[in-house]
A = this chain, B = another copy of it.
Amino acid sequence: MRVRLGVNVLGVGCHPAAWRTGEVEPTAQFDVAYFQQVARIGERGTLDAVFLADQPGLFEPPDRRPPMTALEPTVVLAAVASATERIGVVATASTSYNEPFNLARRIASLDHLSGGRAGWNAVTTYAPTASANFGFEAPASHDERYGRADEFLSVTKQLWDSWADDALVGDVDAGVYADTGRIEPIDHVGEHFSVRGPLNVPRSRQGRPVLVQAGGSPQGRALAAKHAEAIFTSQLTLEAGQAFYADIKSRVLREGRDPDGVLILPGLTTVIGGTEAEAHARYERLEELAGGSGSLWHLAAQLGLDAESLDLDAPLPPIDRSRLKSSVGFQDAFLSLAAQGLTVRQIVTRFASGHRLVVGAPEQVADTIEAWVRERAADGFNLMPDVFPTGLEAFVDHVVPELRRRGIFRTEYEGTTLREHLGLPRPVRHEAVFV
């Protein structure tokens, strides 16, 4: 059993009050040295990858807290890659507001300049604050977005495979730079895109970037089963996680793919203390800094409700799914909690930044991770520490050694590429185009 671990560097920490803790420069997310420092800590902990979320727009007014995403992920991760040696770099980018040629090329470029450590987390981006920046009155429908995403991913994989592994020759004596017989246009003509190709970037050390996907709706699951190699998902209970895990792995099988080639990585927000009591004290201080209850505020926002209308010690009021302001995956996640009849307070303490929250001592965090992987609810996690860099340092210095003692996490990197870290095969290039 091997646990996979990425770290999701959301702003300066995944708790809304992170920027007010004094543990990090409040506006550090506009300073690339911050991202490089966090990545080096992750690399010290032999984590698989640094992950950056993305939204092409201001998700909400940044008056009381940092924007969820700001600097564009591919350029930030190019700088991160050049300050690190081994850790993978996974950039989120939207299939709804990009062109396949540009994005395929940019991620492939990141893959080259990181020596084969890049991945792309493909999202369809619901937010109306994004669509208004691209000439749309409102976001396209869910079906429309996923139809475009499916074609986008298919075009991207073809472009990444448009050069054979041995097409780049560089034979000075013979004067042959590239074997252009091994570089083929893709001549794609589809409903959303017409792309001739080939890409102007060869294959990389790991063949091509790792494809990550982050949608939890039926269409998102279908897309993941067809294309993804890792899935970033929100799962708040072990049971919901197990159901999701089983559903995806069986969908992958039905697609004729290897279930071990598609990793399930839920988000996990961590608040770590030397003891459980210390961790809870830390969490309470964060909630206080957020002005009462930061996580309550976040939950209410996702539910489309006013935080002050919620009674902490009562169950959630009946939820009108049509009013929910979040992706289907997030909706399923917190409805799975509400269905258990938990109080608002109990839901909030399991829910942070839309992901499962664990508040505890290092052993307890390790227990959660181990249990979810053993019980087939996850292949690992995308970590979301409360505050950077401190929360990640706590994880790397105290949880990673515990996972190593248990023999379920590496003690050093075995390979150099993101695929090697994740135990994913180097994809064989589809040669059919030559036949």
Chain A residues with a Cβ under 8 A of chain B: 19-20, 22, 25-27, 30-32, 36, 55-58, 61-67, 69-72, 74-76, 78-79, 81-83, 97-99, 101-102, 105-106, 109-110, 112-113, 132-135, 168, 170-172, 175-180, 183, 193-198, 200-202, 291
Contact = CB atoms under 8 A, between A and B. Distances in A.
A82 B27 contact: no
Contacts of A61: 178, 180, 183
Contacts of A180: 61-63
Contacts of A202: 30
Instruction: Give this chain's copy count.
Output: 2
A134 B177 contact: no
Given A134-B99, A170-B26, A177-B63, A198 B58 contact: yes
Contacts of A101: 56-57, 97, 133-134
Nearest to A204: B30
Given A26-B172, A82-B82, A175-B64, A113 B76 contact: yes
A183 B170 CA distance: 50
A198 to B, nearest CB: 6
Given A97-B99, A175-B20, A175-B64, A113 B79 contact: yes
A16 B42 CA distance: 43
A67 B183 CA distance: 13
A79 B70 CA distance: 18
A234 to B, nearest CB: 22
Contacts of A19: 170, 172, 177
Contact of A112 (B67, B71, B81, B106): B71
Given A75-B75, A75-B113, A133-B197, 16 more contacts: A19-B170, A26-B171, A30-B202, A56-B101, A61-B183, A63-B176, A67-B200, A75-B78, A75-B106, A75-B109, A75-B110, A78-B82, A79-B82, A79-B113, A132-B196, A135-B193
A193 B198 CA distance: 28
